[in-house]
Chain A
Amino acid sequence: MSVRMRARQVWRLLIGAAALGLFVPVSANAADGYYELVPEQVADDTYVFLGAQENFSFDNHGAISNTGFIVTDNGVVVIDTGPSRLYGEAMRAAIADVTDQPVVQVYITHAHPDHFLGNNAFEDVPIAALAETTSAIREIGPDLASNLYNLVGSAMRGTTAVVPDAAADTENRVTFGDHELELVAARGHTASDLMVFDHSTGVLFAGDIAFHDRAPTTPNADIAAWHETLAATQQRNFKTLVPGHGPVVDGGEALAQTGDYLTWLLQGFEQAAARGASAAEVMFLPLPERWAALAVEPGEYRRSVSHLYPSIERAALERDGTR
C-alpha cells in the first residue's frame, strides 16, 4: 500500500517537473548528448577533433583519441572514426556544419578501439586500412568492442566492429580535389600503423605513432620498430603533426617526446630486470618528473609493465645461475 502511494507521489513530482520545463530535450546533433565535437582547424581545409587526455571512462564516453578530416572539392576525407557509433554520428554532424561536401573516404590508422569503433556511422563510405589492421579488426574487433562497452557504458550502444572494406594504397599518392595524400605504412605502436600525409598542406596525421603530452600506450607495441618509424618520420618534410593523442603541434616535437619516453621505458625495465626486481615492484617505481607530468601517468606506465616487463624479466632470468 505504502509503495503504491509513493509511486503516485513520484508521478506527481514528474508531472510537475515536466510542467516547469525541467526536462530539456537533447539535441540530435550532439548524438544524444554524449559527444560535443568541436572541430579545430589546424591548416587549410584540415580539422581535428581533440580527444580527452584521459583513459577510457564513463565520463568521457571513450572519446580519448584525436580524429580528423580534410575538406576537398571532391569530398571529405576522414581519418579515424573514434570509439563508438554515436561518436561517428557526432563527427558526421560536425563535419556537415563545416562543409556541404559529402564524406567520400575514411582511413583507419590502426586496430585500437578508440580509433575505429565509429565505423558504424560510415558504412556508406569506403573504409580503408592496412591489410594487417583489417585482419586484426576482423579477428579481435568484437572483443575490443565488448571490452569498451564495459569501460565506457551506454555511449557504446549500437556499436559493432565494422571491418574496413578497402585497402589503403601505400604505393601511389591519392588525390582528392587539390589535396595530394601519401598513405604511409608503418609499424611499432601496433603491427600496422597507417599515417596520412597531406603534401598539399604539410599536415601529417601520425596516428598513435606519435603521442603528445600523454603517455604512449604499448599493448601491441614493438618498441624497436616504433623507434625506426619515429626516426624515419622525423626525416619527412611535414609542417604540422596531428598525434593520435594530445595537442596538434608544428614540427617533430611529439615524435621526439614519444621516442624519448619509449627509450626511458625500456631502459628502466632492463635495469630493473637486471637487479632482480619483481613486476609489481617495477610498477611502483617513482617516475621522473618529465614523465610523471604526462597525462594518464602513472597508470599507463603500469600498464606498460604488464605488456613489456615479463619478456624482459624472463631474458634476465635466462642469464642465470641454474645448474
Chain B
Amino acid sequence: MRVARLVFLPLLALLIVLMPLGATAAEVPDDPLDSSQWRYMARKYFRDASIVFDERVKVIAPDYAEDSLNTPVQVSAPDLEGVEQVLVFADMSPITKVLDYYPVKADPAIGFSFKVQQATPIRAAMRTADGTWHIGGTWVDAQGGGCTAPSVASADPIWETRLGETEARLWSRDSGGDRLKFRVVHPMDTGLAAGIPEFFITEVTITDDSGETLARLEPYEPVSENPVITLDLDARGPLTLAGRDNNGNRFEATVAEPAS
C-alpha cells in the first residue's frame, strides 16, 4: 500500500501541472440546474463558443411529465435581440438533441412536445449574431420510458396512408406577425424501441408568398409523435410549409391568412 502511494503522489502532481493544457478555450460556467451532464453537454454543443446562462431565455415545462410521450415545452425570449439559432436539448435523454430552430423572420419562440426517458433538464440555447450562446432551462421529472416506447403508429396499419398529413392554422399577433401552429402525422420513431428503426421528420421550412424563408426547423427523434409545433412569425400569411423525413418522404401545405 505504501509503495502504491509513492507512485500515486507524483502522478497526481504531474496531472495537476498538465491539467491547464487540456482545458478548452472558452470558460464553461457553472450550471444553475446542477446537472451531472452539463459539462459534457457544453463540450458537445458549444466547444469553442462563449456561453452564458441568461434569464431572458425562458423555457417552461411541467416539473413532472404526466405523459412521458408528450411533455409540452414552450421556449421564448421576448427580451433577447438578434437570435439566429435556437438549439433545444435534454441532458439526460438517450438522444440529447431535441430540435434546432432558425427563426429567420420570426421570434426565437417555439412550442412543442417531446419524449422524456427519465428526469432531465430541458434547455434552450440561443445563438446571437456575435456567436454567443444564451442558455435557459428547467428540470422535468418523469417516470420515463418515452424514448424507448414504440410509437402508436408502429402498431397501427392505418398510419401509412396518412403519413405527412398536415393541419395548420394562423392567428394574428398583436405585434403584427402571425402565430403559426401545425401538426404533421408522423410516427417520429426514435430507433430505440426494439425492431423499429429511427423514422422522423428532419426538416420543416416556412416560406412566404414570394418564396422567402421565414423560419426553418430541424426536429430530431425526441420530438413527440404527430408533432404539434407553434411558431411566432414576424410576417403574415398566406404561407407555405414544406418538410421531409429521414426516409425522403416529403410533405407540404399552404396556410391561409386568418379570416378575422
Contact = CB atoms under 8 A, between A and B. Distances in A.
B67 interface: yes
A306 B72 contact: yes
B186 to A, nearest CB: 15
B256 A321 contact: yes
Interface string B106-143: 00000111000000000000000000000000000001
Interface string A279-298: 11101100000000000000
A284 B170 CA distance: 22
A276 B238 CA distance: 17
B62 interface: yes
B55 interface: no
B255 A279 contact: no
A284 B73 CA distance: 11
Interface in B212-260: 228, 230, 237-238, 253-258
A266 interface: no
Interface in A4-61: none
Contacts, number: 91
Nearest to B71: A306
Interface string B51-80: 000000000111010110010111000000
A318 interface: yes
A303 B143 CA distance: 14
Interface size on A, as a range, is 20 to 34
B258 A321 contact: yes
A314 B170 CA distance: 14
A278 B230 contact: yes
A280 B60 contact: yes
Contact of B181 (A280, A303, A317): A317
A299 B237 CA distance: 37
A302 B255 contact: no
B143 A323 contact: no
Nearest to B178: A276
B90 to A, nearest CB: 14
Contacts of A320: 167-169, 255
B181 A276 contact: yes
The listed residue with most B CB atoms (<10 A of its CB), out of A281, A302, A307, A320, is A320
Contact of B67 (A150, A306, A319): A306
Contact of A276 (B113, B167, B169): B169
Given A278-B74, A281-B60, A283-B72, A306 B170 contact: no
B171 interface: yes
20 contacts: A150-B143, A278-B72, A278-B228, A279-B72, A279-B228, A280-B60, A280-B72, A280-B73, A281-B74, A306-B67, A313-B181, A313-B228, A314-B167, A317-B183, A320-B168, A320-B169, A321-B169, A322-B168, A322-B255, A323-B256
